[in-house]
Amino acid sequence: MSTRKPRYFRVIYYDRDKLTCNVSDIISDDSFVSSRTCELQASGREVNISTTDPQVDRRNVPSIESLLEMLPNGYRYDPKLFW
């Protein structure tokens, strides 16, 4: 019986209310983050997330620095932004 290898990626957090964003460490499960994002949106917050492409090898996940270089116009980095 084969076991599926975990996929590694980063989550990019966007707070559209404050025009801030942050990038997570490398993770393999975003179920809590996705659920929490839905809760925040339901409460009226303008937040969302995106993820990098899942990778089998952690070494292929983009660096935080490379992702921060691609911030949307008008957004600033907030190291405390996460949920």
pTM: 0.90
Please report, in angstroms and rounded to a whole number, the separation of the first and last CA atoms in the chain: 36
User: What is the per-residue pLDDT for 40?
Assistant: 98
In this structure, is residue 68 part of a structural domain? no
In this structure, is residue 69 part of a structural domain? no
Using CA of residue 36, residue 67, residue 24, residue 78, what is the dihedral sign?
Answer: negative
Average pLDDT, the chain: 96
In this structure, is residue 78 part of a structural domain? no
Q: Is residue 1's pLDDT more than 70? A: no
Task: Determine the structural domain holding residue 28 and report its residue range.
Answer: 1-60
| pLDDT band, very low/low/confident/very high, at 4 (cuts 50, 70, 90) | confident
Please give the tally of structural domains in the chain. Answer: 1
The string of pLDDT tens digits covering residues 17-56 is: 999 999 999 999 999 999 999 999 999 999 999 999 999 9
